[in-house]
Structure 1
Amino acid sequence: METISSAAGALAEPHPALTVSAIGFTHRHGARDRDNDLCAALLAIAGHDLRQPLQVIMGAHDILAKTLNGSAEQIQLARLDGAASKLSDKLDQLIEALRLFEASSENGQEAVQLGPIFRISEAEFAEPARLKGITLRVIPTHAVVSSNPVLLHGILRNLIRNAIDYTPRGGGVLVAARRRGAAVHLEVRDSGVGVPAAELAHVFRPFYRVDTTRVDSFGLGLFIVKRAAAFLGHAVELYSAVGRGSRFVVVAETAPNPNRIGDLK
């Protein structure tokens, strides 16, 4: 179930908030089995049938790059390289979405340390942020939550990627965890373009993009966040102001038994 509420102030507790709860995203066993079969088939197609011809194209490009020296040829090769790279990135996003969906049917919840997930995510996105001229700051944490390490890492990765994608050069992205009573709030803040209030209810839909001029994304990142969070029973909140940025919050319960720690596989 999705509900829209309002809050006042700046990005601390600011503008209209969209809360995505786990209710409404559960599956009956029969439907889940069918979904898993479809997921497995799509994963096989994306991982092999589509990846193989892409590798042939990239291999041919590398060979031609060594033999063609004319400026016109080099320009065309550069266009080919850019197109192949974008296609490869989209394919990676699709495979990630399918794998996370597949994992959601197999993995339960356990005590998950946020610290290692934060460190891995910081290392992964430090270079993309630097190349775009964005400051990425990840606050270390010792929090332990009841979740699934693979799905939670997927949620955080997609939120950070989304924040970097929609933050212009010179902006910043902050990742932190804050204790709120019996819960922990995982927050990803950015100083990006923000989301208009009228579009808040749509951003978690598959293939939806706030910026329709972008062609370098499937628009699946926030849909992955929604589905994974729904399976885990984590609430997701979005606070945003156009021209000022957005704050995504994932609410997870503190682990009742932090001695049983799950890890990323």
Structure 2
Amino acid sequence: MRETVGLTKIRDSREIFDAARITKRPITWSMTAKADPQTPLEFESVLLAIAGHDLRQPLQVIQGAHDFLGLGLRTASELRLLRAGQSAIDRLKDQLDQLLAAVRFREHVEGVKLTPVPVAPLFRQARHEHEIAALSKGVSIRTVQTTATIHSNALLLSSVLRNLVGNAIKYTEPGGRILLGCRHVGDSIRIDVHDTGIGITADQMPRIFEAFTRLDPTRRDGLGVGLFIVRQAVGLLGYRVDINSAPSRGTRFSLFAPKVEKAAQPY
């Protein structure tokens, strides 16, 4: 299957996603991150931010599962939610192990190690981790099948996707849609997170990656540090980020990651 089916397929199916909601008279903004890992303190601050913010997501899944069970759900539904809770616990343990490994790695090697990382498993992970939150809000999450592999760091990139999807859920109204897909762009893979949410205004655009920033100040969920973590992690990865948004119609965050050619991919 060719990678270009990723987001071109969106335009061919209104049932999946109406791309015109975003592309009609959009507001665009771009950030090119530094390719170097910056300072040791900044690297460690990213790890601490991930630990303090992202590891709450699996715990929220566990809490959500128990909340649903407390409402009287039984049998197959109960079992599914219990499995989701166990999966979140396992994921939490795995993330802690990765963070500790990253800290130990930082003690011996300068910078972030980039390795071949398949995109599809990270898409599935991001969707799975947000299924209950999206279901509770009445928002659908879909992913486009891909075989793309990029030069990245799985811990940092999974954190970026997790925060982008979580942010999309937060600012998408019930009945809205979120879609993850990617496509070839020259020597890069463009990873897109689409939503049909409230969008971003021109005056908000320069501030969205600042810590404690909320696009809608009336919303009190979260600390407003998700996109700050995205900026820090993307800076360590050295990726470029484009944002395409139309107020009240939705937003597309695009990450440009160097692709791994087929011949270079591990067996």
Bucket of the pairwise TM-score, normalised by the shorter protein: 0.5 to 0.7
2:178 is the alignment partner of 1:173: yes
Higher CA-based Rg: 1
TM-superposed deviation, 1:213: 1.8
2:200 equivalent in structure 1: 195
* Residue 260 of structure 1, CA deviation: 4.0
Matches of 1:40 and 1:251 in 2, distance apart? Answer: 22
8 Å contact 1:14–1:239 — kept in the other structure? Answer: no
Distance, in Å, in 1 between the alignment partners of 2:221 and 2:148 is 34
Question: Paired residue for 2:140?
Answer: 135
Structure number with higher relative contact order (C-alpha < 8 Å, ≥ 6 residues apart):
2
What SS does structure 2 have at the residue aligned with 1:11? helix
Among 240, 259, 265, the residue aligned to 2:265: 259
Q: How far 1:236 moved relative to its partner?
A: 0.8
State the partner residue of 1:240. 245
Pick one of 13, 18, 24 that aligns with 2:29: 18
Distance 1:110 1:14, change over 3 A: farther
Structure 2 residue runs without a partner (length 5+): 1-19, 57-91
Q: Aligned in 2, Cα 1:21/1:37: closer, same or farther, shift over 3 Å?
A: closer
User: In the TM superposition, what are the counterparts of 1:139-218 in structure 2 within 5 Å?
Assistant: 139-218=144-223
Distance in structure 2 (CA, Å) of the matches to 1:176 and 1:213: 30
Q: TM-score, normalised by structure 2?
A: 0.65
Q: CA RMSD in A?
A: 3.4
Picking from 217, 229, 237, the partner of 1:224 is 229
State the alpha-carbon separation in 2 of the partners of residues 212 and 252 from structure 1: 32
Q: State the partner residue of 1:85.
A: none
* Secondary structure of residue in 2 paired with 1:141: coil
* Matched pairs, number: 201
Contact 1:22–1:230 (CA<8 Å) still a contact in 2? yes
Aligned-residue sequence identity (percent) comes to 31
Question: Deviation of residue 178 (structure 1)?
Answer: 1.2
Q: Secondary structure at the match of 2:207?
A: coil
- For residues 30-41 of structure 1, what are the structure 2 equivalents within 5 Å? 32-35=39-42
Amino acid at match of 1:109: L
Q: What's 2:254 paired with?
A: 249
For structure 1, the residue ranges without an aligned partner over 5 or more in a row are 1-8, 52-91
Cα displacement (A) at 1:107: 3.5
- What are the equivalent positions in structure 2 for 1:92-131 lying under 5 Å apart? 105=106, 107-131=112-136
Task: Report the residue type matching 2:22 in the other structure.
Answer: L
AA in 1 matched with 2:245: S
Separation in 2, partners of 1:151, 1:186? 14
**In 1, distance between residues paired with 2:259 and 2:250?**
28
**2: CA distance between counterparts of 1:235 and 1:148?**
15
Q: In structure 2, how many angstroms separate the alpha carbons of the residues matched to 1:41 and 1:233?
A: 19
Shift of 1:120: 1.4
The TM-score with structure 1 as length reference comes to 0.66
Taking structure 1 as reference, are residues 208 and 12 closer, same or farther at Cα in structure 2, changes over 3 Å only?
A: same
Secondary structure in 1 matching 2:203: helix
CA deviations over 1:2-41 (Å, ceiling 9, x no partner): xxxxxxx8624852222111239852xxxx2444677788
Cα pair distance change 1:39/1:22, threshold 3 Å: closer
Give 1:117 deviation, angstroms: 0.9
3-state DSSP class of the match of 1:198? coil
Give the match for residue 16 of structure 2.
none
- Structure 1 residues 205-240: Cα deviation after superposition (integer angstroms, max 9, x where no partner): 111111112222111111111111111111111111
